[in-house]
Amino acid sequence: MFLVEFLIKNGRAGIDFSSTIGRSGIFLCRSILGLSLGPKGLKLLAKQIYMVGVLSLVIIVVSGLFIGMVLALQGYNILIDYGSEQAIGQMVALTLVRELGPVVTGLLFAGRAGSALTAEIGLMKATEQLSSMEMMGVDPLKRIIAPRLWAGFISMPILAVIFSTVGIFGGLLVGVDWLGVYEGAFWANMQSSVNFQEDVLNGLIKSLVFGLVCTWIAVFQGYDSVPTSEGISIATTKTVVYSSLAVLGLDFLLTAVMFSSI
Amino acid sequence: MDSYITINDLHFTRGHRSIFNGVTLHIPRGKVTAIMGPSGTGKTTLLRLIGGQLRADSGQILLDGQDISQLGRKALFDARKKMGMLFQSGALFSDISVFENVAFPLRAHTKLAEDVIRDIVLMKLQAVGLRGARDLMPSELSGGMTRRVALARTIALDPELLLYDEPFAGQDPIAMGVLVQLIRLLNDALGLTSVLVSHDITESLSICDHVVILADGVVIGEGSPTELKKSDSPLLKQFLNGLPDGPVPFHYPANDYKTDLIG
Amino acid sequence: MYQRTIEAAVGVFMILGFGALMFLAIEVSGLSMSNDSDTYKIYAQFDDLGGLNVRGKVSLAGVPVGKVSAISLDEEAYSALVEMEIDKSVDKLSLDSVASIQTAGLLGEKYVSLSVGGEEEYLKEGDTIFDTQSALNLEKIIGAFASGQVEL
C-alpha cells in the first residue's frame, strides 16, 4: 500500500514536472519569435535592455573589480612558492575569461535582474494587467515577454565581458601596483596564453547560454506564478534558485565540452 | 429575444471541481444583463469563457453567431476587438499615464494619426468624466477613478459587447452611483450589449434588463428582474432577499452541537 | 525626454560592452591585426615536440619573430613537421639556422628558439630547417645518467 501511495505521489510530481517543462518550452517558442522589429518594438527592447542590463552595471563592475583583486592576491600567494609570480597575469585573465566572468555574472544576473523580472511579471499577472491585455487583443507574450527575453540575451554577454575586463584591471591593480609584479610580464604572459578563439569566444558562448537560460527561467516563473503575494514570493525564490543551479550545471557541461581537449 | 450571446450546454471543470454542468443561457442584444449567484459559482470564469481566455470542455459559446471555442489564436485576437472587458481591479498598466492607457488599444489595433488618437482618447475620457486627469499615473488615482479610466479604455475601440467583472465591489456610494449610471448610459447611447457579473443585488437589478442566476454549476433562474422577484424557488428567494439561512445553509456541516460541547 | 535618456544609456552600455570585448581581444589575448601577407612560412622537423603547441612563440635571441601555425606528422620521416609563420621583416635567417624547442620559465610553455648560422643564403617561403634540436626530455636524461651512459 505504501509503495502504491509513493508511486502515486511521485507519479503526479513527475507528470507535473514534465508539464511545467512542456509549458515553459511552448512559452519560450511563442515569445522568442514575437519581438517586433519596428520602431515600437525596438523602443520596448531598448527600455528593457536599460532595466535589465544598464541597471545591473553597478553590481557587475564592483563585483568584477573585487574578484579580480582577490584572484591576484590569492594567486600571488600560491605562485610565489614556485617562483612563478610573473604568471599572475595569465592566471587572472584565464580564470576570469573562461570561468568566473560568465559564471559569476550569470549568478549575479539571476539574483538581480532575474528576480526583478519575475516579480514584475508576476505582479502584472496578479493585477490582471496581462489578462486585460489579452482581452484587448494584444498578445502579452509579444508585447511584454519578448522584449524582456531578448534584453536578457543581449545584456548577459555584454555584462560578462565587462566583468572580465574590470576583473583584469583589478588584478593589474593588486598584482602590479601593490605586489610588485612587472607590468610588462603581466601583460606579455597573459597575451601569450590567452587565445581569442578558445578562451574569449568560449567564455562568450557560455555567457550567451547562461543569459538564455536565466532570462527564460525568470520570465517563465513570473508568467506562471500564482497571482497572490505569496505566489510571487515563491516564484522569485524559484527563479534565483533554479537559475543559479542551471548556471553552475551548464558551466560544468560546457567546460567539459570546450576545454577538456586542451 | 434576439440573443447576442448564446451558451448551449456548457461544461467546464477546473482541477477536480466541476464548475459548469450543462449551463444554457441567452444574453439579449442591446440590453444590460446581470449574471449573479453565490460566491464561487464561477461567474468570473463564465466571463473568461465568453472572452475566450479559457476553453470549455464541451458545449457552445456563440458570440453574434461565431463559436468562440472553435477559433484559433489569431482569429480569437481579432474577435476580441469587438469586445471590451472591465476587470475588477481596473488593471491599468501601471507604468504609463492615464492618456496612454486609454490610447493603448488604439495604438495597438489601428494606424490612426496621432492627433486623431488624441481626440478619441479625450472623447472617451470625457464620457467617463475624467478628461482632466489624463496626465496622471495610475498610482495617483483613487479606486473609483481607476475603474472609470479602465472603462474609458474598454470603450476606446467602440466594441459591441462590454463585460464587467464585479464593477461595484468595494466602491463608496458616490463612485458606485457614478458607475451604475455610466453602465446604463453607455449601453443605451452606444447601442451595446452589456454583461455584468456581480453580487450586488440592489444596484444590479436597478439597471439591468435581464438577469441570469447561477448556482451549483447550473442556471437556476433567468428572466427580467420583475419575473424573478415573483419566483417561488426557495434558492432564488434566499438569494434575492439576502436571507442568511435557506437552501444555502448557515451552518457548515458539523457534528451535533450538544455532544460537541459537553460529550 | 525620459525615453531619450534610456536610449542614450543603452547605447553607452552597448559601446562599453563592445569596447570591453575589443580590449579582451587585443590586449588580453593578443589577437594580432596582422594578416598573412605580413608573414612567410618556413618548416622544421623535430624528433620530439615535447609539448609544443600550435600558436607557440617562435623567437630569435629571445625576441618574438613569429608563431607556430601548424603541426603535423611527417609519415615518411616519422618525425614532427612544424610549420611556422615568421614576420616578413625578419628575412635574414641563414639556411643553416638552428631551431630548438625550449621551455619558458619553470611552468612555462614550449617555444621555438631560432639561432642563425653563417651561411650567406637566407630562408625563403616554404624552406625547411634541418638542423633542429628537440625538446629536452627529462626522463631520457635521468635514464641516461642512471644507466651510466653519460657521465657528469
Q: Which long-range contacts (CB under 8 A, 24 or more apart) does B125-128 make?
A: B125/B98, B125/B99, B125/B149, B125/B152, B127/B152, B127/B155, B127/B182, B127/B186, B128/B152, B128/B182
Nearest to B142 by CA among B170, B108, B116: B170
pLDDT over 70 at C30, yes or no: no
Contact C11, A49 (CB under 8 A): no
* Residue of C13, C15, C69 best to disrupt the A interface, most CBs of A under 10 A: C13
Q: Which chain A residues are Cβ-neighbours of B92 within 8 angstroms?
A: 129
Q: Per residue in C48-67, pLDDT tens?
A: 887 787 777 888 887 878 88
Catalogue the E-assigned strands of chain C.
39-46, 57-60, 63-74, 79-87, 98-103, 110-115, 128-129, 131-133
DSSP B193: E
Residue B182 in contact with residue B128, Cβ under 8 Å? yes
Closest CA to A64 of A161, A191, A145, A188: A161
∠ CA(B217), CA(B221), CA(B227), 5° rounding?
170
What distance in Å separates residue C24's CA from the closest CA in chain A?
A: 7
List, in sequence order, the alpha helices (H) in chain C: 2-23, 138-146
In three state form, how does the secondary structure of chain A look? CHHHHHHHHHHHHHHHHHHHHHHHHHHHHHHHCCCCCCHHHHHHHHHHHHHHCHHHHHHHHHHHHHHHHHHHHHHHHHHHHHCCHHHHHHHHHHHHHHHHHHHHHHHHHHHHHHHHHHHHHHHHHHCCHHHHHHHCCCCHHHHHHHHHHHHHHHHHHHHHHHHHHHHHHHHHHHHHHHCCCCHHHHHHHHHHHCCHHHHHHHHHHHHHHHHHHHHHHHHHHHHHCCCCHHHHHHHHHHHHHHHHHHHHHHHHHHHHHHHCCC
Residues of chain B with Cβ-Cβ distance to A44 below 8 Å are none
Above 70 in pLDDT, residue C36?
no
pLDDT band at C1 (very low <50, low <70, confident <90, very high): low
Q: Is the pLDDT of residue C131 over 60?
A: yes
pLDDT cut 70: percent of chain C above it: 84
Question: Is chain B in touch with chain A: ≥3 Cβ pairs within 8 A?
Answer: yes
**In chain C, which residues have their Cβ closer than 8 Å to the Cβ of A43?**
3
Cβ neighbours of A129 in B, within 8 Å: 91-94
Distances (CA, A) of B216 to B20, B33, B43, B201, B247: 8, 20, 11, 19, 12
Whether residues C24 and A87 touch (CB distance < 8 A) is answered with no
Q: Which pLDDT does position A16 carry in this prediction?
A: 83
- Burial (CB < 10 A; 0-12, 13-18, 19+), residue C56, is buried
Question: What is the value of ipTM here, to two decimals?
Answer: 0.77
Residue A152, min C-alpha distance to chain B (Å): 20
Question: Chain B residues within 8 A (CB-CB) of chain A?
Answer: 48, 51, 53, 77-78, 80-81, 83-85, 87-89, 91-94, 104-105, 108-109, 150, 153, 157
Do C and B have ≥3 inter-chain CB pairs under 8 A?
A: no
Query: Is residue A158 within 8 angstroms of chain C, CB to CB?
Result: yes
How far apart CA A253 and CA A246 sit, in angstroms, is 10
Per-residue pLDDT at A242: 94
User: Which pLDDT score, from 0 to 100, does residue B79 have?
Assistant: 82
CB contact, 8 Å: C15 with chain A? no
Cross-chain Cβ contact B81/A137 below 8 Å: yes
Instruction: Kindly give the pairing relationship between strand B218-223 and strand B210-215.
Output: antiparallel
Which chain C residue has the Cα nearest residue A50? Answer: C10
pLDDT (tens digit, 0 to 9) for every residue of chain B, 263 residues total?
Answer: 678 888 888 888 887 778 888 888 888 888 888 888 877 777 888 888 888 888 888 888 888 878 887 787 778 877 888 888 888 877 889 888 899 999 999 988 888 899 999 999 999 998 888 888 888 898 888 888 888 899 899 888 888 899 998 888 877 888 888 888 888 888 888 888 899 888 778 888 888 888 888 877 788 888 888 887 777 777 777 777 777 777 767 777 778 888 888 86
Inform me whether the pLDDT recorded for C107 exceeds 80.
no
Residue A5's Cα: distance from chain center in Å? 39
* Residue ranges per structural domain of chain C: 1-33, 39-142
Counting Cα atoms < 13 Å in the Cβ hemisphere of A177 gives 7
Residue B179: which residues within 8 A CB-CB, separation 6 or more?
Answer: B144, B147, B148, B151, B167, B168, B171
Q: What is the pLDDT of residue A235?
A: 94
**Does A128 sit within 8 Å of B85, measured CB to CB?**
no
Which residue in the set C10, C12, C107 is minimally distant from A84, CB to CB? C107
Cβ(A205)–Cβ(A106) under 8 Å?
no
Nearest CA in chain B to A128: B91
pLDDT by 10s per residue, chain A, length 262 = 678 888 777 888 888 888 888 888 888 888 888 777 777 888 888 889 999 988 999 999 999 999 999 999 998 888 888 877 778 888 888 899 889 999 999 999 999 999 999 999 999 998 889 988 888 888 888 888 999 999 999 999 999 999 999 999 999 888 888 887 777 777 777 777 777 777 888 889 999 999 999 999 999 999 989 988 899 999 999 999 999 999 999 999 999 888 775 4
